[in-house]
Amino acid sequence: MIIKLSQLFLRTLREDPAEAEVASHKLMVRAGYIRRAAPGIYTWLPLGLAVKARVEQIVREEMAAAGAQEVFFPALLPREPFETTGRWNEYGDNLFRLQDRKKADYLLAPTHEEMFTLLVKDLYSSYKDLPVTLYQIQNKYRDEARPRAGLLRGREFVMKDAYSFDVSHEGLVASYHAQRDAYERIFNRLGLEYVIVKADAGAMGGSASEEFLSPSPIGEDTFVRSAGGYAANVEAVAIAPLPAVSAADVPAAQVVDTPNTPTIDSLVELANAEYSREDGKQYFASDTLKNVVLAVTDIKGKRSLVVVGLPGDREVEFKRAEIAFAGFEVEAANEEDFAKHPELIKGYIGPVKDGVQLLGEKATSGVRYLLDPRVADGTAWIAGANVTGKHVFNLVKGRDFVADGIADIAEIRAGDPAPDGSGPLEIARGIEIGHVFQLGKKYAEALELKVLDENGKLVTVTMGSYGIGVTRIIAVLAEANNDEKGLIWPEQVAPADIHVVAAGKDDVVFETALKLAKDLEATGKRVLLDDRQKVSPGVKFSDAELLGVPQIVIVGRSLENGEVDIWNRRSGDRRSVPLESATSELS
């Protein structure tokens, strides 16, 4: 294949597009791979389409190798199945909704769990038909509030989504791992760095779930990892409760005056000034018990309060709280909430008042009380005394107060121990490029996908879902492979293998370049030939650097010596080789 730049529909740009924030977006627009049609919605130009086709081909090959079969669903879908599973509403503003001429409700599919489930229900009825894994590569739609970063977060984008159907959990686990392995092969073939992290379930519902994140400073996902191999999305880090300690030597709890100490900082300062420790050490924020009042609202709109106690040096991370309180909206309590609970004295809230437990469903306030897993039995804390200007010292968990349960919603910090004991955690950012998910029976139950088992009994099918952001991957590849001059595509996805530049004015230059391009094509190479007349060699070289084909061959001045220059785009190495050996050197 030879693509001639003299004919290619391409215009490279010297200026970054105004709306572009990240390198991949800037460069893919400047190099004429994509073009914005609307916010988060892009047109693919010929070179971009060539890259996209190559990525899709790799995905298809590995899906086939994993035994997955390709189908193709509509993007325009009726409301009913999504109504049945509740997602018509759950998706909120992220869903593009519309009506047809008969006022029937439709949506543009953000994902296809419902449709795959119904298709299998439609055609299959026996355990003998299973397992089966189906996939598609298809345009998806999400009405992102802030479409950003070009292809990294679009509103119309291409995904490969696969779904597995099994009779047993063991089958599901096997199907899951077949896809997970395929994902590793795909990302390895694409040369994409990735980390597999435990993931939260998000809006999908279900049990086991892992994300493939490509580490990147512009990533929207925060994840943690340890040197010992632990890796998880911050939402998915589960802190193990700390073991109980003995409180035998802890003096009895004592209420003291702590005027003007509504904040942790002011409390610690006063404690160190007025109530210095007997061992001479300082008090720290981590010695105090911070009690945060949250309002949680269920899907029917019922709002109630929860108090969460956590070490005073930690903050609540609401992203983690949303996962912990799945199905509820979580926010900080407002003035109105406090007005309904005059027993909660802001700045001085604690589990106990006058030696009697105040917080807790069965305590005097009736307000649910949860504790961070770091608040272990036997540990002593400085906590609010539920009286303005007073705190309790030496308040011991288990001895002086109890809780209704655990709330693992504190922020994760660099240096925190990995939950599996594999060392301190590092915090990094990544871009989600894949997601594998043991959905379980959620969709099959909602849509009644059952098959007859070996004993002739109806059993509900168990499912997995597996997604790869195809267009996002292209952006991630561009993000990871560029320099200040332009793109540097990995060989396996480049729009061409070799970029031949006719750098000169004489016919012999153009003729030689064309002949070389044809010789290379004959060896199976994809060739981009810059045969533009009246374009200077300098502009052609800049364009070659911008377009990012891995190997560049310059047919120009060296031709006088019977040579051409081979230029490696990534390393920048340039060397002259005899014209007659150029083809073999490049094959």
Assess contact for 366 and 228: CB atoms under 8 A.
no
Spatial distance between the Cα atoms of 252 and 236, rounded to a whole number of angstroms: 38
Q: Is 155 in the site for a second copy (CB under 8 A)?
A: yes
Q: Write the DSSP symbol of residue 30.
A: H
232 three-state secondary structure: strand
Q: Is 18 in the site for a second copy (CB under 8 A)?
A: no
- From residue 115, alpha-carbon distances to 1, 72, 82, 257, 452 in Å are 39, 11, 9, 64, 21
Min. distance of Cβ 540 from a second copy in angstroms?
16
Spatial distance between the Cα atoms of 358 and 367, rounded to a whole number of angstroms: 8
Spatial distance between the Cα atoms of 378 and 250, rounded to a whole number of angstroms: 9
Q: Is 427 in the site for a second copy (CB under 8 A)?
A: no
In this chain, which stretch among 69-77, 218-226, 354-362, 502-510 interacts with a second copy, using CB under 8 A? 69-77
181 three-state secondary structure: helix
In this chain, which stretch among 100-108, 246-254, 275-283, 501-509 interacts with a second copy, using CB under 8 A? 100-108
Closest by CA position to 289, among listed 419, 179, 397:
397
Min. distance of Cβ 11 from a second copy in angstroms?
4
Q: Is 518 in the site for a second copy (CB under 8 A)?
A: no
Query: Which x/- pattern over 29-68 shows residues binding a second copy (rule: CB under 8 A)?
Result: ---x--x-xx--xxxxxx--x--x--------------x-
Q: Is 74 in the site for a second copy (CB under 8 A)?
A: yes
Q: Write the DSSP symbol of residue 126.
A: B
- Residues β-bridged to residue 354: none
Q: Is 284 in the site for a second copy (CB under 8 A)?
A: no
In this chain, which stretch among 91-99, 181-189, 509-517, 518-526 interacts with a second copy, using CB under 8 A? 91-99
In this chain, which stretch among 5-13, 271-279, 300-308, 546-554 interacts with a second copy, using CB under 8 A? 5-13
Q: Is 72 in the site for a second copy (CB under 8 A)?
A: yes
114 three-state secondary structure: helix
Q: Which is nearer to a second copy, 83 or 269 (CB)?
A: 83
Q: Is 15 in the site for a second copy (CB under 8 A)?
A: no
The single residue among 132, 173, 195, 376 that binds a second copy, judged by CB under 8 A, is 132
In this chain, which stretch among 92-100, 304-312, 495-503, 516-524 interacts with a second copy, using CB under 8 A? 92-100
- From residue 127, alpha-carbon distances to 2, 67, 119, 454, 517 in Å are 51, 18, 16, 7, 55
How many residues form the binding site for a second copy (CB under 8 A)?
Answer: 50
- CB half-sphere exposure, 379, CA atoms < 13 A: 21
Q: Is 88 in the site for a second copy (CB under 8 A)?
A: no
Q: Is 249 in the site for a second copy (CB under 8 A)?
A: no
Q: Is 393 in the site for a second copy (CB under 8 A)?
A: no
Largest interatomic CA distance in the chain: 98
Min. distance of Cβ 112 from a second copy in angstroms?
10
Assess contact for 132 and 63: CB atoms under 8 A.
no
The single residue among 27, 134, 412, 503 that binds a second copy, judged by CB under 8 A, is 134
Min. distance of Cβ 115 from a second copy in angstroms?
7
Spatial distance between the Cα atoms of 474 and 529, rounded to a whole number of angstroms: 23
Structure-token pair, residue 339: 């007005």
In this chain, which stretch among 6-14, 262-270, 402-410, 477-485 interacts with a second copy, using CB under 8 A? 6-14
Structure-token pair, residue 323: 């996962």
The single residue among 14, 15, 18, 145 that binds a second copy, judged by CB under 8 A, is 145
Residue in the block written with tokens 């994809």: 526
Q: Which is nearer to a second copy, 132 or 459 (CB)?
A: 132
Min. distance of Cβ 327 from a second copy in angstroms?
23
Q: Write the DSSP symbol of residue 512.
A: H
Per the document, the length of the chain is: 587
Query: Which x/- pattern over 102-121 shows residues binding a second copy (rule: CB under 8 A)?
Result: ----x-x------x---x--
Min. distance of Cβ 96 from a second copy in angstroms?
6
Q: Write the DSSP symbol of residue 92.
A: G
Identity at 192, one-letter amino acid code? L
* CB within 8 Å of 312: residues ≥ 6 apart: 264, 267, 268, 285, 286, 287, 288, 289, 290, 382
In this chain, which stretch among 71-79, 334-342, 492-500, 555-563 interacts with a second copy, using CB under 8 A? 71-79
Give residues in contact with a second copy (CB under 8 A). Answer: 7-11, 32, 35, 37-38, 41-46, 49, 52, 67, 69-78, 93-94, 96-98, 100-101, 106, 108, 115, 119, 122-124, 132, 134, 139, 141, 143, 145, 155-156
